[in-house]
Chain A
Amino acid sequence: MQQVLDVLIISTKAFFGPLAVFYALMAIGLNVHFGYTGLLNFGQIGFAMLGGFGIAISVTTYGLPFAVGVLVGLLAAVLFALLLGLPTLRLRADYLAIVTIAAAEILRLLFRSVSATPITGATRGLSGFSGDFYALSPFETSARYTILGARWSGRELWVVSVGWTLVALGCLAVWLLMRSPWGRVIKAIREDEDAARSLGKNVYAYKMQSLILGGIFGALGGMIYALATSSANPDQYQSANTFLAYAALILGGTARVLGPVIGAMIFWFLLAFTESGLVELTGADGIIPPEILSSTDVAQIRFVLVGLGLMTLLIFRPQGIFGDRREVMLDAR
């Protein structure tokens, strides 16, 4: 019984944890791209990496203040969106998907290459950039707080509060934007690009603005992630993470303001639940014998489940929990 309770406590913590914030912000960005505009951006993790490394490189490598680091991260994301959008936004959805995933992979390979060591720390990454951020914390960073049975350090509480504030502001911004004229054009582009164009709308410019906006959310997510782990390593930003964010988004429901947020929370609750549950089951007095599944394999099971979950969702309920099937951009090509 105690074990079940432990698993539940760990999962509840994950429900609100920094990773849920990270994926919620990435998924809000993807919701702007995919849910509202119909852009199949598979390189969201590249935006997150630029956000995280924007802070890390500015503070650790060049000794600039923390606030400048945040600005640099955001500017880098805007620049990346422009560079990515210029050649690709005129392309069909499947081409855009291929190009964006390739661009994110290019960024990661460049950041982790040995010749980039003086700037990005290559495969060892950077650390020691989060001091200024935690100095702002109203919580005692070394103290421990117990909330709902889970133990949170003051650092975690601070990251999470900033993170959820950003998520709330992001949702508000998306909600306001999507009921503005701008949002209506964006949705029109998703439904029928040619119709929007024939009404005199500059589809290309709208798509670009959407790409930049969503990319900024991705960068903010990457910043929270880098601050929560106090390190930035290119290999933390694998392409698979983009698809975890997609899974969270589709689970919650695309083209819904709160879809990505609730999706990310439930997603991390489920992941933490299965993971800590499997750790208990495969542990010393567990009931799954190590020949079938050893405890070191549990981390990989996460991705297998996400993959299968993504397939199942799209086959049986593409609108997720809250979505509206008519608003899901899945039939176009």
Chain B
Amino acid sequence: MLRRFVAVVVLGFAALLTVLSGQASAEGEQIIGTLQTGRSGPIEGVTITVETTGGDEVGTDQTDSDGRFAIELPDGAGDYVVTLDADDLPDGVILREGGAERRITVGANRTQPVAFGIGDGSLRQASANIEILQRTLEGIRFGLLIAMAAVGLSLIFGTTGLVNFAHGELVAIGAVIAWFLNVDAGIPLIPATVAAIALGAVVGAINELGLWRPLRNRGTGLVAMLVISIGLSLALRYVLQIVFGGRARAYVSFQGQSATSYGVIRITDKDLFSIALSLAVLILVALMLQKTKVGKAMRAVADNRDLASSSGINVDRVILFVWMLGGALATLGGVLFGLSDQVSWDMGFQLLLLMFAGVVLGGLGTAYGALVGSLIVGIFVQVSTIVIPDETKYVGGLLLLIVILVVRPSGILGARARIG
């Protein structure tokens, strides 16, 4: 069932993230939304009016250059009617299903996103095949992003046996560091990201040196370490919420790009850049694992720790390197996720389960398995939005995780070891 067209960007993912975090911490009520389509990009200057159900005007706003609007609700929580002035839409952009009026209910202290279905008509005749192609491309971008974060998770499991539930926080911390450098300190995003990656490696090293290495030396059991990583994840996640705030926020650079056409497929420059960068980085990681001494040592430790140790490999140093690599890659993944969606305090947890899905699908503990698995999960999640609503798209990825455990628990590239 072709429910939606690519060109219809119903609402910014930003709005979805605000809902997902579940607790907009702002005082007062607000209605927000974004108007944009694939071809026109963000639409500026459209008047949005909010009325009470009785017909009294509460507030009005015009969309800004990013296509966003925000209207404060001085009367507080309740039912409202939001109207879009269709005459303000540029030529070629039309209202789709649902029309120009939305009835919504705003809860106390909530920032309520409103979605208008608008389309530029360009893909009206698009065939299902092109739709799948387009979604696959988005899926490749998303999958590569998951893969970057997941390679570290898988290598950490492979070398230490730890299932690190706090790995998502490495992603979020990296993205937040880059956000502060980019927005507060005014550094352009690319140098800010480079700095954040370095700091992310340091965060990974602190993880290993400050917590996990002492625990390993004490002989703490693996299940205990797993639960400790959950404690760490909870603590870090909510420290992030205190430091960063409950709202999702965007980087200042590369906002509001409109898509360029390449034949039948349309993609924004930043998404294309994201794909290219992830591919390049992952190939470099693969080359490092394959060709360099430390990479071979990593694979050796992951394969058989005792054997590696007795062959003269300094296992602790290799594990430290794995943590630094994991922290750096997670940061880069986080920045790319923040760029395509937005930066939020709980982005790490959202990504964590998909990372697990990718890693398990590929085979726990293998670096290349994480890569392949994540790519499949990313594509599956994006392509599944053709049939299921956008907001439930992560469900597909998680179901895939359960199905693969039934069919082949060791994963695609994992050895057929007994894990039951």
Contacts and interface: CB of A to CB of B under 8 A. Distances in A.
Contact of B231 (A94, A308, A332): A308
A123 interface: yes
Interface of A: 40, 87-88, 90-95, 97-99, 101-103, 105-106, 109-110, 113-115, 123-124, 235, 238-240, 243, 246-247, 250, 293, 296-297, 300-311, 314-315, 318, 329-333
A314 B241 contact: no
Contact of B235 (A99, A250, A304, A333): A304
Contact of A314 (B23, B228, B237): B228
Nearest to B392: A113
Interface centre among A87, A102, A247 (most CB of B within 10 A): A102
Nearest to B239: A304
A54 to B, nearest CB: 21
Contacts of B420: 90-92
B242 A297 contact: yes
B226 A97 contact: yes
Contacts of A315: 215, 218, 220, 228
A300 B242 contact: yes
Contact of B238 (A105, A250, A300): A300
Contact of A102 (B163, B239, B353, B409): B353
Contacts of B412: none
Contacts of B105: 124
20 contacts: A40-B223, A87-B402, A90-B409, A93-B223, A94-B226, A97-B163, A99-B401, A101-B353, A102-B401, A109-B391, A114-B391, A243-B230, A301-B238, A306-B231, A314-B220, A315-B218, A315-B228, A330-B221, A330-B223, A330-B224
Contact of A300 (B241, B357, B402, B419): B241
Given A123-B19, A315-B228, A333-B222, A98 B235 contact: no
Given A90-B409, A106-B398, A333-B223, 5 more contacts: A98-B353, A101-B353, A303-B235, A308-B231, A314-B231
Contact of B401 (A90, A98, A109, A124): A98
Contact of B356 (A91, A102, A305, A330): A102
A311 B231 contact: yes
Contacts of B237: 303, 307
Contacts of B405: 87-88, 91, 95, 99
B168 to A, nearest CB: 11
B360 A310 contact: no
Interface in B219-271: 220-224, 226-228, 230-239, 241-242
Interface in B368-420: 389, 391-392, 394-395, 398-399, 401-402, 405-406, 409, 419-420
A305 B239 CA distance: 10
B22 interface: yes
B25 interface: yes
A100 to B, nearest CB: 10
B107 interface: yes
A314 B222 CA distance: 11
A309 B161 contact: no
Contacts, number: 150
Most chain A CB within a 10 A radius of its CB, from B19, B228, B353, B389: B228
Given A124-B105, A238-B22, A307-B235, A98 B356 contact: yes
A91 B231 CA distance: 23
B247 to A, nearest CB: 13
Nearest to A309: B231
A123 B111 CA distance: 13
Interface of B: 19, 22-23, 25, 105, 107, 161, 163, 215, 218, 220-224, 226-228, 230-239, 241-242, 349, 353, 356-357, 360, 364, 389, 391-392, 394-395, 398-399, 401-402, 405-406, 409, 419-420
Contacts of A246: 227, 230
B389 A115 contact: yes
The 8 A-B residue pairs whose C-beta atoms are closest, nearest first, are: A307-B235, A331-B221, A310-B231, A307-B234, A311-B231, A330-B224, A303-B238, A90-B420
A307 B232 CA distance: 6
A310 B223 contact: no
Contacts of A300: 238-239, 241-242
Nearest to B237: A303
Per DSSP, are chain B's interface residues mostly helix, strand or loop, or mixed? helix
A303 B230 CA distance: 11
Contacts of A247: 231
A274 to B, nearest CB: 14
Contacts of B356: 98, 102
A310 B228 contact: yes
Contacts of B235: 303-308, 311
Nearest to B230: A243
Contact of A310 (B215, B234, B241): B234
Contacts of B360: 95, 98
Nearest to B235: A307
Contacts of B364: 95
Contacts of A303: 234-235, 237-238
B107 A106 contact: no
A311 B228 contact: yes
A109 B394 CA distance: 8
Contacts of A243: 230-231, 234
Given A307-B238, A330-B221, A40 B231 contact: no
Given A105-B353, A304-B235, A307-B235, A113 B25 contact: no
A308 to B, nearest CB: 5
A88 B419 CA distance: 11
A310 B235 CA distance: 10
A106 B236 contact: no
Contact of A331 (B223, B228, B392, B406): B223
B392 A329 contact: no
Contacts of A109: 391-392, 394-395
A301 B235 CA distance: 8
B391 A113 contact: yes
Nearest to A302: B238
A97 B406 CA distance: 15
A298 to B, nearest CB: 10
A311 B236 CA distance: 12
Contacts of A330: 220-221, 223-224, 227
Contacts of A105: 353, 394, 398
B417 to A, nearest CB: 10
> Most chain-B CB neighbours within 10 Å: which of A94, A101, A297, A308?
A94
Interface centre among A95, A301, A318, A329 (most CB of B within 10 A): A95
Most central of B107, B357, B406, B420 by chain A CB within 10 Å: B420
Contacts of A333: 161, 221-223
Nearest to A240: B234
